[in-house]
Structure 1
Amino acid sequence: MKLIDCPRDAMQGWPTFIPTAQKINYLNTLLRVGFDTLDFGSFVSPKAIPQLADTAEVLDGLELSSTTTKLLAIVANLRGAETAAQYPQIRYIGFPLSVSETFQQRNTNKSIAQALDEVARTQELCARTGQEQVVYLSMGFGNLYGDPWSPEVLGEFTQKLDILGVRIVALSDTIGASVPETIAPPFRELTAAFPHIEFGAHLHTTPSSWHEKVQAAYGAGCRRFDGALGGYGGCPMASDKLTGNMPTEQLIDFSVEVGAKLPLNELALDEAKKLNQAIFAAH
């Protein structure tokens, strides 16, 4: 079982700017915890996400010599991928590709066909730099727009990504629509049809529904999970009516439940939890 902590997703929509030095301190603590991967920042237009305009500066401050955790940066287009490719410290370049035509247009002002072309060009870029692309299939568990969704649709997208050579695909719960009935069938079918691809789950949840969602994905063969400490991202986990990121703490609890041994530094994790609360309570 792999844990990917996503402070980038927790911070990106935060209404007040988190100082760069504070981000660096928090991320360096997370790097000491022992997560497989840290989704630490993004290279997108500062107009779109001003909170992460300092990603390059943050990267310069990260202590990478003594960590086994790999870095992942999110991009929204080929230009962002070309920027991320300039930093060999970044192992993974994450690209969101929507299975909903409506959302693809709203999110990136591109069609799915245009976005797929950029995925292909990003894959070629990664082949040259030695980095690896992670494609997030957003609206992976359904959408509000009436666009086609089914495990078969997800399979068609994955087939196209497979041909391009993409080897990590994460189904993403963009709007908090996931329920066990829409989580388990796609993972069951995709892991069987594409055993050479690593499938991940980027789930959103309310406090009461996290376990059933993780169990559905895990039981259907998923072993890669995204989370964010405190469940921040989208909406903070303030009440059962709100839908935020899957809390990393609960993914850790689940790993213990299923007997997955994760090499985590508990002292660093406790420190990260304290910093997490200080950051999001103060801003």
Structure 2
Amino acid sequence: MNWEGKPMKDLITTEVGMRDGLQMESRFVPTNEKIEIGLGLIGAGLRRIEATSFVSPKAVPQLVDAAEVIGALRGRGATLAALVPNLRGAERALEAGVDELVMFISASEEHNRRNVNRSIAESLETIAPVAQAVAGSGRGLRAAVSTAFGCPWQGDVTPEEVARVIEGFAAQGVRAVTLGDTTGMATPPIVRRLCDKLADWFPEVELTLHFHNTRGIGLVNVMAGLDAGIVRYESALGGLGGCPFAKGATGNICTEDLVYMAGEMGLKTGVDLSSLIALAQRMQAILGHDLPGQVMKAGPRLVAA
């Protein structure tokens, strides 16, 4: 039984630090160290990893070694996902052996233009060629809706605006959708309202929530998501990450902190917390600067420092 006396359920975590986290780092992380972290994540029990991105190396030079990283992590027991912006990126990802491709479109028109220099309508047109390339390959295709909970330029984003993007993906057979709190604007009421509406409108879609901790309530928003029945979350080792197009947007919710909280609530994650803490500390040493994770510093409850 969990903390509320209800039957326990699994909390499914996708680790995104290797992509969403490292892309924000100005110093290039050597490929062998990326692979070391990836293998460590798998060893700690993570079974879903967004490992890299097949975008232009000029746009994100940190991830220029995407194919090499995927090649080293393939067949190790984890589903490997990668972000792709277009058909060319999808073709490269498929060639590298990625298990799941992730396409991203913002629910905010202004953020989409700043992010990929296209309107939402233009971005929606890029889905079909990628879906066709993935069809029959045995690989998965996931939609990521950026700024689903608010935009620093537009302000509030309505559920209908989020639904517009999901409809575009659903029309191409995509049934896995991540709602991204790209700049940390989500609050519990917003989370609950959006999740409830989308569950009603798209009962066939599997929702994942991706929160940032910009305003310090990332895990509070997870609680709101759990209350809405969502069990799939994305997080980053050590709390890595941010948004290159939004000033002040800090890192993702921290994987160790999420796993610790889930364990204290009686939710199964399949992840070994002590291994994860050690790996977060290793990542901090590799990057040469402090990471915002809390459990990696304080340790679990009732464990002496």
Q: Fold-level match, TM-score > 0.5? A: yes
Look up the SS of the partner of 2:179 in the other structure.
strand
Between the aligned partners of 2:94 and 2:212, the Cα distance in structure 1 is: 29
- What CA distance in whole angstroms lies between the structure 2 residues aligned with 1:148 and 1:273? 34
Question: In 2, Cα distance between the equivalents of 1:147 and 1:115?
Answer: 21
Aligned-partner residue type, residue 222 of structure 1: I
1:3 partner letter: T
Query: Are positions 1:117 and 2:125 aligned together?
Result: yes
% identity of equivalent residues: 34
Match of 1:85 in 2: 94
Q: What CA distance in whole angstroms lies between the structure 1 residues aligned with 2:250 and 2:47?
A: 25
Match of 2:242 in 1: 234
Q: What's the secondary structure of 1:17's corresponding residue?
A: coil
Q: Within 2, Cα distance between the matches of 1:224 and 1:250? A: 15
Report if aligned partners of 2:183, 2:249 keep a CA contact under 8 Å in 1: no
2:295 paired residue number = none
Deviation track 1:122-154 (CA, whole Å, cap 9, x = no partner) reads: 112111312111111001001123377211222
Tell me how far apart the structure 1 counterparts of residues 28 and 170 of structure 2 sit (CA, whole Å).
Answer: 38
Please say if residues 71 and 96 of structure 2, whose CA atoms lie closer than 8 Å, have aligned partners that are also in contact. no
Partner of 1:4: 14
| Number of the residue aligned with 1:32 | 43
Structure 2 Cα separation of the partners of residues 82 and 208 of structure 1: 38
1:248 is matched with which residue?
Answer: 255
Does the 8 Å CA contact 2:112/2:118 hold for their aligned counterparts? yes
Once the two structures are overlaid, the 10-residue window that deviates more, 258-267 or 41-50, is: 258-267
Aligned runs of 1:93-104 on 2, under 5 Å?
93-104=101-112
Determine the C-alpha separation between the residues in 1 that align with 2:214 and 2:44.
Answer: 25
| Cα distance in structure 1, aligned partners of 2:86 and 2:50 | 17
Gapped runs of 5+ residues in structure 1? 236-240
Of the structure 1 ranges 1-10 and 200-209, higher mean CA displacement relative to structure 2 is found in 200-209
| Equivalence for 1:260 | 267
* Residue in structure 2 matched with residue 23 of structure 1 by the alignment: 34
Written as runs of structure 1 = structure 2, the 5 A alignment for 1:24-173 is: 24-62=35-73, 64-67=74-77, 69-88=78-97, 90-146=98-154, 149-173=157-181
Task: Tell me how far apart the structure 2 counterparts of residues 148 and 124 of structure 1 sit (CA, whole Å).
Answer: 33
- Output the TM-score relative to the length of structure 1: 0.90
Q: Structure 1 residues 5 and 111, CA, compared in 2 at 3 Å: closer, same or farther?
A: same
- Matches of 2:148 and 2:106, distance apart in 1: 8
Q: Say which SS state the counterpart of residue 128 (structure 2) adopts.
A: helix
Cα 1:212–1:34 change in 2 (3 A) is: same
Instruction: Kindly indicate whether residue 283 of structure 2 is the aligned counterpart of residue 276 of structure 1.
Output: yes
Q: How does 1:172-183 map to 2 (within 5 A)?
A: 172-183=180-191
Give deviations 1:181-203, integer Å, cap 9, x for gaps. 22111111112332221111111
Aligned AA (2:115): N
- Which residue of structure 1 aligns with residue 233 of structure 2? 225
Q: How far 1:205 sits from its partner (Å)?
A: 0.7
Shift >4 Å, 4+ stretches:
none
| Alpha-carbon distance in structure 2 between the residues aligned to 1:133 and 1:30 | 22
Partner SS for 1:48: coil
Superposition RMSD on alpha carbons, in Å? 2.1
Distance 2:150 2:216 in 1: 20
- SS of 2:135's partner is helix
1:253 Cα deviation from its structure 2 partner? 2.2
Aligned pair in 2 of structure 1 residues 256, 146: CA closer, same or farther (>3 Å)? same
Change over 3 Å in CA distance of 1:249–1:138 after alignment to 2: same
For 2:89 and 2:257, how far apart are their aligned partners in 1?
Answer: 32
Amino acid at match of 1:263: G
